[in-house]
Structure 1
């Protein structure tokens, strides 16, 4: 690691990439208050600052199920075309303001149909909002490329429908697929038909695994379902003893299966004990393709700048370490190789070279 001293202002200027970020977990507090008022939905408070604090405190339960329960309020305001358009556009603008040059946003369309929108209409609306945000960001001189991951909720029965949507919209901004929701008790192998369909149709996918459940969930995601990336994956450390990798950990590292690590979120759900001891540092040093992510910016009260700053301050990271995870993310992004290469060579590496 480098000893370069950096502060939040410099980190904010660095080009960043985020692969694991949920649309319904990243609304602006003021937007949530306004949309809730229009929808007649009651929030814990209508003061944006107090609401942001409520979310952060409510999520600090150390329990994934309770963490997920905080999404009831954001989902309540994402049931209309207007709400989805605004959330998607602001999502992009917030990434651009944080120095993100590539982002993948994920959400489950089945959770946005209570207002009468069809699954396809939900996807079309979100893509329209994302496109508007990218156009505004480019016009402001802070371009950001955003791809969409559609999620199936692993505890429900519409995962195959979500996979079909990913196939249908893969040429309209959707770059991949995921399953989300409560991990323990809902193994990824329950949805083998969806993953087989995605493989047949050449649609890449990631799977939430190794967060609330251990090595069996990672093994299923990778070896049974065929995931190209792992959402979180912190429990891969259970297969590493005194720096020696077990067979599963070795497979994940050697085949460059990216780990979408989310330090603040992992602390909140009890998947990690501290930023200083978060597995992302040790796994990076062992050569795993680790990436750094926000997961849910509202729920976790975070940004990419904050996640990077925490690792600099509490885990001794330097600019070179931040560059490594950024390049890792782009290498594993679900967009074509030439686009990934261009972002790395033309945007990320020059940006970090200027900082060094």
Structure 2
């Protein structure tokens, strides 16, 4: 019996657990990011450029919440891995515990007895001396695994507080940003939009192409010429929203319809920013595209962004690179829904879509010629 037990212990020791990266650190780091974003929000009101400060705050919250989601996914995967390992080896663990209990409760003289006599007893004692360190190491490894499972579960419970604070903070930051942009009066303007002409153009066109080609007719007076040139940024322009490319230029959708633009999957309520310095040529509802923002980064070029829930700014304004122009739609998931995403794959929480069309000399071109999408 003692020989069989010793062999079993040697087998268990030889199958030591493979060390894995600690996923809890990612979730803890995300909590720190959310705390830093909260501090940014508190300081934004006193910032000289309040719009810029609030924009950075919203982005900090978005990054922190994304990191928290990722950290919780890793925590959940690690916990599931540990639990599966422990469940798969229940019999071995039970044998290990039985051996440890036998050694602990048996008197030393009994352990030294062997049916084959003194020689067998001596061999048994030598083997027991050899495997005892292994028994101890294996017991410690089991203890560490159980403690890690407990730590990961506690971390997931505590994450609810950080998420609650982060969700409330980003909501407040978005509302403050919208107000700050509406109150802004320091941006130069190239033209003033005529609301009557704009309404006539919208009602008389049935396509985005027709509307874009008539933009010059919706202004009061003349449009100030621009010397802006982004040709050196070709292929390096950042996407206006953090997201994943769903469909590329000319690709067909599920209905077999192709569009001369690119579709980006983004998270609910994500901030959409101007990818370059540009003039706002139009912002508001258009056709069946929802809210649309049309930007002019240089003469004879338009960036058309459609699918937003809210739009910021005013037609005619010249805005710097990175200026918020709107928010994506959707509803920010509740804490329970975010925590339930822990086991999902990347991208499952990007439920909103932003359509991007680039028009050069009134002709659609592949957005990937200009935007960096890797």
Alignment TM-score, normalising by the size of structure 1: 0.20
Structure 2 length as normaliser, TM-score?
Answer: 0.19
Higher RCO (CA < 8 A, seq sep 6+): 1
